[in-house]
Amino acid sequence: MTSGDGSVSARNVRARVFKIVGFLVLAVALYELPLQYDRSTVTKFTTVLCYALAALGLNLLTGFNGQISVGHGAFFGIGAYSAALLVSQRGWPAWATIVLGAVLAFVVGLIVGLPALRIRGVYLALVTLALATLFPAVIVRYSDVTGGTQGITLEGKQRLNSPQFARDAGITNSQWRYYIALVVAVVAFILVRNVVKSRVGRALIAIRDNETPAEVLGINVGVYKVLTFGISAMLAGVGGALFTFNNDGVAADVVDIQLSIILLVAVVIGGVATFAGPAIGAFLVVFLESFFPENLRGKAAPVVFGILLILLMMAAPGGILGLVKQQWAKLAQRFSRADQPSHVA
C-alpha cells in the first residue's frame, strides 16, 4: 500500500469514527432532552418533531422530486382532524387513528398529485395553495362535526397519556408523547433516507433534473410523481396526528395557510434536498418565536421568517445544512492538504 492510499484510508476511518460518535451523542441528547426541561418546553420539542415529519415529506416531494407544494398544511390537518375525530367520537385507540390519518392523507395526496401529470412549477403550486386555503374553510363550514373555530378537545382516556410502566419510571405524559413522536420521526427519516439512496431515489432525482431523459431511460414518470405526492402527504398526515395528541386537540387556525408556508420555510431554511434539513428548519420555526417579546408573538413571526429567508438565500442558497457542508468540505480539504507528504527534490 502506498502512502497516499494509507492517508486516504486513515481519513476514511476518522470520518467513520466521527460519524459514529456524532450519532451516539445525538441519540443521548435526544433521549435526555425531555428530562431536562419543563412541560411547556417538552411540548414544543414534540411540536418540532411533528413539523419535522411534515417538512420531511415536503422535502421528499420538492427537494428530491422537484414538485412544488404550498399545501402541506392541509395534509397535516387531515391527519390531525382524523385522529381527533376518531378518538373523541368513535373511541379509537391512538395508534389506529395515526395509521388511518396517514392513509387518508396518502389517498388525498394521490388525488392532488394527479394534476402533476399535466402541470408543473407555479401552476402546481397554485393547485396546492388552493387546497391549503380550502381546508380550513371546510373545517369551519362543517362545524357540527369538526367543532369549527373552537376545534376538538381531547379529554380523559382520549388523550395519549403515559402507560403505567412509564409512570412507574417517572415519565410524564408530555415526555411520553415526545418519545413516541421521536421514535416515529427516526423511523420515518431512516426510511426516507434509504429510499432516496436506492434506485427509486435515483429515479426521483432524475425526474427532478429533467423529465424527458428520465422517460427515455424507462422511468415511469407519472407513477413516480403521483406516488411521491401520496407518500409526502402521508408523512405530513402522521405529523398532524401526533400534533393532535401532543396538544390534546386541534383547531382550524392551527392548520391554515400559514402552516403550509411555515413548513415550506422550514425546508428551505434547513436545506432543500437534505435529510437533516427539515428537522433543523422545524426547530428554528418553532423556537424562533420564543425570542420575541410577549406582545409580538404571533404577529412578528411571519415578518421575521420572511426576512430570515431572504437573508439566508443571499448568504447560503443551500440552507443552513448546505452552508455547514460547504464549510466542512473546505475544512476537510485543508486537512487533506496537511496530510499529504511533502516531496523534497
Residue 169: helix, strand or coil by DSSP? coil
193: Cβ–Cβ under 8 A, 6 or more apart, which residues?
Answer: 275
Our count of domains for the chain comes to 1
Are 69 and 58 in contact, with CB atoms under 8 Å apart? yes
Residue 135 in any domain: the answer is: yes
Query: DSSP for 99-129?
Result: HHHHHHHHHHHHHHHGGGGT--THHHHHHHH
Is the model more confident about 8 or about 100?
100
pLDDT level of residue 335 (50, 70, 90 thresholds): low
Distance CA 285, CA 47 (A): 10
Whether 2 has a pLDDT exceeding 80, the answer reads no
Give the number of other CB atoms < 10 A from CB of residue 142.
Answer: 11
pLDDT level of residue 338 (50, 70, 90 thresholds): low
Residue 20 in any domain: the answer is: no
User: Which H or E element spans position 293?
Assistant: none
* pLDDT at residue number 328: 76
Whether 292 has a pLDDT exceeding 80, the answer reads no
* pLDDT at residue number 288: 81
Q: Which three cell numbers stand for residue 317?
A: 442558497
* pLDDT at residue number 302: 67
Residue 299 in any domain: the answer is: no
Residue 11 in any domain: the answer is: no
Q: What is the mean pLDDT of residues 187-207?
A: 96
Give the number of other CB atoms < 10 A from CB of residue 167.
Answer: 13
* pLDDT at residue number 228: 97
Residue 209 in any domain: the answer is: yes
Residue 237 in any domain: the answer is: yes
Q: What is the mean pLDDT of residues 150-156?
A: 94
* pLDDT at residue number 343: 52
Domain CATH code at residue 133: 1.10.3470
* pLDDT at residue number 307: 77
Mean pLDDT for the chain overall: 89
Most confident residue range from 19-23, 138-142, 334-338: 138-142
Distance CA 239, CA 12 (A): 36
Distance CA 259, CA 72 (A): 8
* pLDDT at residue number 345: 45
Task: Name the residue among 86, 196, 70, 210 with its Cα closest to residue 132.
Answer: 70
Distance CA 199, CA 176 (A): 36
Residue 9 in any domain: the answer is: no
Give the number of other CB atoms < 10 A from CB of residue 23.
Answer: 10
Q: What is the mean pLDDT of residues 5-24?
A: 76
pLDDT (tens digit per residue) in 229-263: 999 999 999 999 999 999 999 999 999 898 998 99
* pLDDT at residue number 344: 47
Give phi and psi for 160, each to the nearest 5: -90, 85
pLDDT level of residue 41 (50, 70, 90 thresholds): very high
Are 266 and 51 in contact, with CB atoms under 8 Å apart? yes
61: Cβ–Cβ under 8 A, 6 or more apart, which residues?
Answer: 67, 69, 228, 229, 232
Whether 326 has a pLDDT exceeding 90, the answer reads no
pLDDT level of residue 316 (50, 70, 90 thresholds): confident
Q: What is the mean pLDDT of residues 165-192?
A: 96
* pLDDT at residue number 327: 79
Is 0.95 surpassed by the pTM of this model? no
Residue 300 in any domain: the answer is: no
Domain of 97, in residue numbers: 33-294
Is the model more confident about 209 or about 16?
209
pLDDT (tens digit per residue) in 82-99: 999 999 999 999 999 999
Is the model more confident about 323 or about 42?
42
